[in-house]
Amino acid sequence: MLRGRFGDTSGRPYIEGRLIFRNLKISSDISFCVDTGADQSLLLPNDGMRMGIDYTKLTGEAESVGVGGVCHNFVEPVLVVFSKPRRFLYVYTIDLQIAPPDPEAMDLPSLLGRDILNRWRIIYHPTKNYLTFQVISADVVEAQGERERLETATQYQRQHGLYDTISNIEIRLHNFIKNTLQKEFGESQDEWWVKGIPLTIRQKCAQRQQEDSLRHDIYDYTDLIDLKPILNNNWRLFEVEFRPISKQCKSKNEFLNRLGKLNEIRKIVMHPVRRQEDLPEETKFLDWFDKLTEEFCD
């Protein structure tokens, strides 16, 4: 049984969840307003901008009809995760509609529509402040046992703040490296991608792109660990940016080794583990490396 809440001032019904955009490399908690009148779930601009969505990278299109008329929205595949504490995680794969930025819509909450609500049974009792959802079905149900609780990236983020820190570092480095290569070699894929990316990585990404029916930008198929050889092969392009942080990280090899350590921590945080524990050393490292890469990519 999932539990919702009613807004303190608005009285609107809400449920807390988490959105994971694999293609955009974004993951964020969200408060959905429960809307049985919505055919599909909809991300409104206030939440989208808070999550750091780059609307220029959205390509899917769809129309939605409401009381205000026809709206033209973006569409992006996402995972929506809801948690029953210490018991289950319920995961749904949907095509999320994303409303474009609009100053008049900034105060509106994102909507959880019937693409998910039709798979639940709702008990709605606002006078008693009682809002629950019995899950009839989900695409994935992740059990969390009493003795061996599986702690996911979503839970880590809530408890330790590690998930968002890693995501921020990864997105920052990916974007900075791509922009630098484009400035040096040219913006077309035949220029920066061929001249700046090692062949083995290009081949791996090409295969992933071919296997993905959505066919996103080929650079989106690179992994965090791929940035090590990319940086190593093109280090001369990054030497100027490295100088301000050279007192904290003394050499190229040390920086690349730190990047490898980040990837190892990423494996722990992003994937389920079979025990629950604090990660003080990892947290300290991530805070340090987050500030370091922010200065490096400035």
Tell me, yes or no, whether 122 and 217 share the same domain. Answer: no
Asked if residue 157 is part of any domain, the answer here is: no
Distance CA 98, CA 274 (A): 35
280 and 189, same structural domain?
Answer: yes
Tens of pLDDT along 73-86?
899 999 999 987 66
- State how far the Cα of 105 lies from the Cα of 46, in Å rounded to an integer: 8
> Is residue 157 within a helix (H) or strand (E), and if so which, with residue range?
helix 153-160
Report how far apart, in Å, the C-alpha atoms of 129 and of each of 13, 114, 133, 216 are. Answer: 10, 22, 14, 44
Domain annotation covers residue 127 = yes
pTM (whole model) above 0.75: no
Residues of the chain short of pLDDT 70, as ranges, are 63-70, 85-86, 143-161, 213-214, 270-278
Residues 18 and 125 in one domain: yes
In this structure, are 64 and 181 located in the same domain? no
Domain hosting residue 216, numbered range:
162-296
Give me the pLDDT at residue 289, please.
Answer: 95
Evaluate whether 96 touches 43 at the Cβ level (below 8 Å).
Answer: yes
In the chain, how many domains are there? 2
Measured distance CA(287)–CA(112) in Å, rounded: 34
**pLDDT of amino acid 162:** 76
In a domain, 152, yes or no: no
| Rounded distance between C-alpha atoms, residue 196 and residue 178, angstroms | 9
pLDDT tens digit sequence for 180-238: 999 999 999 999 999 999 999 999 999 988 887 667 789 988 999 999 999 999 999 99
Is the same domain home to 39 and 128?
A: yes
Domain of residue 36, CATH code: 2.40.70.10
| pLDDT value of residue 171 | 85
